[in-house]
Amino acid sequence: MSEEGGRPTEVVLDGESLTPAEVAAVARDGATVRVADAAREAVREARARVVAAVESGEAVYGLNTGFGHLVDTRIAPEDVEALQTNLVRSHAAGVGRRLTAAEVRGVMLTRVNALVKGYSGVREVVIDHLVTMLNEGVHPVVPAQGSLGASGDLAPLAHVAIVLLGEGQATVDGNDLSGEEALARAGLDPLRLAPKEGLALINGTQLTLALAALLVVDAERVLHAADVAGALTTEVTMSTTANCDPAVNDVRPHPGQAESAANVRRFTAGSEVIESHRNCDRVQDAYSIRCLPQVHGAVREAVGHLREAVEIELNSATDNPLVFPPGAVAGRASGGDEAAVLSAGNFHGAPLAHRLDYVAGALTDLAAVCERRVDRMLNPELQEAHLPPFLTEKSGLRSGYMIAQYTAASLLNECRSLGRPATDSTPVSGGQEDHVSMSGQSALTARTVLDDVATVVGVELACGAQAAEFLDPGLALGDGTAAAYDAVREVVPKLVEDRPLDADLRAGERLVTSGALHDAVEAAVATDTD
């Protein structure tokens, strides 16, 4: 892997070491892709095993049989190549919004990494075409909906694969082209798929996986921003950081709780605002502030649980059937000279689906606690005496940030309405595929939830910066929260007269999602205040 400024500029695929950060680098930052030499050798060996299986004449699923309910239909030798083409064409049945270019790049990258593990049996030319498409910016047009998450993300992957045939559509430099024309732009000829290749290209979890990998990267950024926003709210509401004392975490040692508590301490270090009322007579703060480490920490651990599954899945073989070298399969003669072609279920998205559903629910709770803190800054019935109603002077004549909380509440309601787990199986293919994961829908839902949560966090930041305007000007904010205030003020001016708030809220959301807030705050604080 080559890096520039801490970010990968080239990602080497070996089937063993791909990370979520590298997925983001290729998907979003244009990092180039190369296949390791050892992985190429594994691909060649797997292809030789597939050729031997075809030449043996034995019935092997997907090589010389039909698919799904048609598994018992034998395909004549002269038709085995047409079988693969027909498979890709017939399965390109997606609907809905287009995947973004970044999402498509993530799908392509993760599929290549699965293929180069050497258990799928495709030719090198197939992998080289996909790598060249990534490096030359040829992005298949892929509808987002249609996957059942078993046998993997069939429809979306078929929309990628069909471009290799010179069919379908792809985008190059922002222009929609036919598959054939798009390949020509990259100096490629359309492929004729050999036995097993169509199946290898579309059997896998790569829509789910690509979306999940990008989600992990983004969710961790949103969590950091939520800790920043919560720390700022703690200050401007004259609340205490005693709830974040290490002694509290030591007697309930959940790592996520400890990390969020440590963040609040880091961000508020040096705060004269907090010191100004350390010995006040308030006994307790509201739960949305007092329990910040517990709530944020639980969400952090949910995202970490998803990261664990993503890191495994990124370097897994999710094809079917899988082609194993001689002696690799239990129950077969060890050291024999025959390869094993096993039909199994590594394409099933359950390992990702359940965690994606869980993360969507956890992120919804993050939006809920952020929205409650927004209300505590705005609500005249809950505010501290130094804050005017809805954070505006001449309230009544002016509404200030009143409707910002409405927006946060609306987004929170959408998150809650999406919270029902998507993992509700519907049998297909004449009952042969009688339990599917719906992992693609879980990933799409989690993405929508995270986007909403990022906006809610941005609302809290905008309101927190506005509330800071009403603090004693002689009291300094913490090192990190002051940097957060400055970052907000670079894009959201102080609210005096009422104005449309949509631009303010979009700017707050961009601070969160772009990483600008993270970078500004981390540059301002020490790495360890404990």
Nearest Cα to 356, choosing from 424, 294, 441? 441
Contact 357, 422 (CB under 8 A): yes
Cα dihedral 363, 369, 373, 375 sign: positive
- Displacement of CA 322 from its chain's centroid (Å): 27
Amino acid at 263: N
What's the Rg (C-alpha) of the chain?
27
Please tell me the distance from the alpha carbon of residue 147 to that of residue 14, in angstroms, as a whole number: 27
Q: Order of strands, edge to edge, in the sheet holding 2-4?
A: 2-4, 7-13, 32-35
Do 80 and 54 contact (CB within 8 A), yes or no?
Answer: yes
Q: Write the CB contacts of 421 (distance below 8 Å, at least 6 apart in sequence).
A: 354, 357, 442
Q: How far apart are CA 220 and CA 366, in angstroms?
A: 12
Residue 484 near residue 463 (C-beta atoms within 8 A): no
DSSP 265-309: HHHHTT-HHHHHTTT-S-----HHHHTHHHHHHHHHHHHHHHHHH
Amino acid occupying residue 141: V
**The dihedral sign for the CA sequence 508, 208, 35, 174:** negative
CA distance 456 to 189: 47
Long-range CB contacts (within 8 A, 24+) of 430-434: 430/68, 430/69, 431/69, 432/68, 432/69, 432/71, 433/68, 433/148, 433/150, 433/151
Nearest Cα residue to 437 out of 344, 349, 368, 363: 349
Helix locations, 399-501, DSSP H: 402-417, 439-468, 479-491
- CB contact at 8 A, 150 and 426: no
Map residue 317 onto helix, strand or coil.
Answer: coil
Contact between 214 and 23 under an 8 Å Cβ cutoff? The reply is: yes
Strands ordered across the beta sheet of 175-178: 138-140, 169-172, 175-178
Spatial CA neighbour of 194 closest among 321, 81, 74: 81
61 is catalytic: yes
Cα 491 to Cα 254: distance, rounded to the nearest angstrom: 36
Q: Which of 48, 163, 29, 197 lies closest to 106, judged by CA? A: 29
Catalytic amino acids?
61
